[in-house]
Chains A and B, each alone.
Chain A
Amino acid sequence: MQFEWTEEQDAFRHKIRDFLHANLPDDWETFSEHGPASPALTAFAREFCVKLADAGILFPHWPVEMGGEGLGPWEQQILAEEMWIAGEPRGGQYMNVNWIGPTLEKYGTDEQKKRYLEPITKGQSLWCQGFSEPDAGSDLASLRTRAELKDGNYVINGQKIWTSYAGLADTCFLLTRTSDDRKRGITIILVPMDTPGITVRQIPSLIGEGDIHEVFFDDVTVPESARFGDEGQAWEIVGYSLRNERLGIPRFTLARAALDRAVQMLKAAGDFDGDYVKIEAARCAALCEAAGTANYAVVQRRVDGLAIGAESSSARYATVMAERAVCEFVIEFLPEALAGASPYLKMHHQRGIVAGVAAGSAEIQLNIIASEVLELPREPR
């Protein structure tokens, strides 16, 4: 075991930091308080990602055949960490380079690759992910949005909810039902968001403007060629990209950075004294580092080419624990941070509180750990 970054990795991290330093505006910290899906940040990201592309740090972890530099999972991790700590200046485009691009490459038709990959590599496209429905959250496989093949077109009817970025996205990576065979009846369709029949409603939320939406599909008609993979292949494809492409958002890094910021502010106010606040701060730091180790163990598996299973649930849950502790610490000791005293800590709070819900809830991760790591007998259903 070896816990230090290599020189190249350090250099890579510094290259990203220098780039951010040179290219983020002076008022970035206040600005980034707009959620990653806000109109302001989305517009910013459309320019910023072009610059990242020009500097070669939009998708350096992609294989050379795809135009990347073929850097490995550690570099992908470093890139994700630096961007997330900075408040994610890529907005929703992080999804593109994280998993949408590589998934398109693996499963897309030539026409789909041609149409969608180039805008991604130019930093010009925004995707949304239409998975969850009002009655299909944790139980995603019960989704009901129908796609019916009629005369060479899919006609889509149904509703999605919690869809991040939907308000401004160009394309939706949509899960639809094409047959009643639970998981094997689900099909992916790539739907341009300006197709007639789509209605997006923003949901007012605790986590900032523009983040979560309801999306209604009313006789939305797209050509059969918009289908991604085969009918019924969605579960396999999504499973593949979750296991192989997608890195969890490195939330533990921002949690740690937020904690450090909070301690700085307490020190400046003369209130980082007494045992209690120090013990609590240290507890938070340990939880952040614990989450880091769990996340890195997953990255190592990817480096080693091993399948990723319940390890990622462990990493997710450790991250939820860290986020929870830091969010609570900040409010208990620096309640002013959320009322205007620290845009950075408020930004962290709004991103931190979703850690246990977005992308599959914490309790579902616990069920996975119980079944797959501990191999406990399953709860009867």
Chain B
Amino acid sequence: MQLSLNEDQTQVLDFIDSLAKPYATVPMHDVSLALESAELDEALVENGFLDVMAVEELGPVMAALVIEKLARLPFAVEAAASAMVRPLIDPELPRPLCLMEEGKARKPLRFLRPGATVVVVGPSGVKSFITTEDMIAPAQEDTLYGYPVAFLTSQPDSMTSHDVDVAEITRAWRVAMAAEAAGLLGAALASTVTYVSERKQFGRPLATFQGMRHRLAEDQVMTNTAYWMAMRAAGTGSQADAAMALHHAQEAAKRVCYDYHQFLGGMGMTLEHPLHLWTYRLKLLTAELGGRGAQGLAAAEALWG
């Protein structure tokens, strides 16, 4: 057991920090629902941050750390699928990568756009195709989710089949989502803590009310453990760890999204405060891979058969 970051990991994370600095806050005038930056994406690709998993001395934990770190930004980045799942399928697949459960085309896909690769994962295997404009319907303009999302309206007759294990891809997908959720949880917590420490009612900071302190402290425990569960799942490669990590993250997401919007009062309803960027991403992730129920069943299967 060695749970502190090694030198390589520290270096990579520091590098990301400095590269992402201009994207660490929301531009004042920008109150859009989904915030993205093509320049940030480009910089990440150029510097190889989405390919760390394949580098021998870095590996999957590094990928999870990168995903977690990037998810903390108010800007949405398609990092999870690219950094954690793509290397297992075909490292050359064009980005963004959209992971879809077979038979679940009704659900909105994050980052779906012409030229994106859709990877369909399900009982009949792992297949992919590159999307064209005619396969995509835009989501409603004022979708709340904080990610760019769109719907797939049709799928090509022929897709590229990948000779990979469905269970293994699903496992990596779970870990990727758990790592992304961990970053979102961390950022949402930090943002809320700042607000309730500064905001006063009844002549004192909101954070001095014990009812709020206890809930926030529980939220911290869930958030902290979601981080460790995601990292451990990345490190062990175990099916049970992956399913439990995502289950835990999805459970945490439900709790904190409610709490944090409560704690911000009216401010939590505005687009002028960035909280919604993290919470509405988290909310969408509660639906990922069938939600807590599916993760629970997968974990039980892996643990006890």
Residues of A with Cβ closer than 8 Å to B? 132, 135, 137-139, 142, 161-162, 203-208, 212, 269, 274, 276-277, 280, 324, 328, 331-333, 335-336, 338-341, 346, 349, 353-354, 356-358, 361-363, 366-367, 379, 381
Do the beta carbons of A331 and B139 come within 8 Å of each other? no
Bound state CA distance, A335 and B292, in angstroms? 14
- In the bound complex, what is the Cα–Cα distance between A138 and B280 (angstroms)? 25
- With A203-B272, A204-B271, A363-B211 given, is the CB distance from A340 to B265 under 8 Å? no
Roughly how many angstroms separate A333 CA and B106 CA in the complex, as a whole number?
A: 11
- Number of residues on chain B facing chain A (CB within 8 A): 44
The answer for the CA separation of A379 and B201 in the assembled complex, in Å, is 14
Using known A-B contacts A139-B201, A331-B287, determine if residue A339 contacts B266 with beta carbons closer than 8 Å: no
Question: Could you tell me the distance in whole angstroms from the C-beta of B218 to the nearest C-beta in chain A?
Answer: 15
In the complex the two chains form, what is the Cα distance from A353 to B139 in whole Å?
Answer: 21
Chain B residues contacting A341 (CB-CB under 8 Å) are 106
Chosen A-B contacts, 28 in total, with CB atoms closer than 8 Å, are A132-B266, A137-B265, A139-B201, A142-B201, A161-B266, A203-B270, A204-B272, A205-B269, A205-B270, A212-B266, A212-B270, A276-B294, A328-B286, A331-B283, A331-B287, A332-B287, A333-B287, A338-B143, A339-B145, A339-B151, A340-B151, A341-B106, A353-B269, A356-B258, A356-B261, A356-B262, A357-B266, A361-B262
- Contact (Cβ within 8 A) A204 B270: yes
Interface residues in B153-189 by Cβ distance below 8 A to A read none
Of chain A, the residue at the smallest CB distance from B211 is A363
B18 CB to nearest chain A CB (Å): 31
CA distance A49 to B268 in the complex (A): 32
Smallest Cβ-Cβ distance to B280: which chain A residue: A206
C-alpha gap A349/B268 in the complex (Å) = 15
Contact A336 B107, CB 8 Å, known A139-B202, A274-B293, A331-B284? yes
Output the nearest chain A residue to B105 by Cβ-Cβ distance: A336
Nearest residue (CB) in A for B268 is: A357
Given known contacts A206-B270, A335-B108, A340-B151, is B286 in contact with A366 (CB within 8 Å)? no
Closest to A203 in B: B270
A340 touches B269 (CB 8 A): no
Further pairs besides A162-B266, A356-B258: 20, Cβ < 8 Å: A139-B202, A142-B201, A203-B272, A206-B270, A207-B269, A274-B293, A328-B254, A328-B286, A331-B284, A335-B108, A335-B284, A338-B140, A339-B145, A339-B149, A346-B140, A357-B261, A362-B262, A366-B211, A379-B210, A381-B204
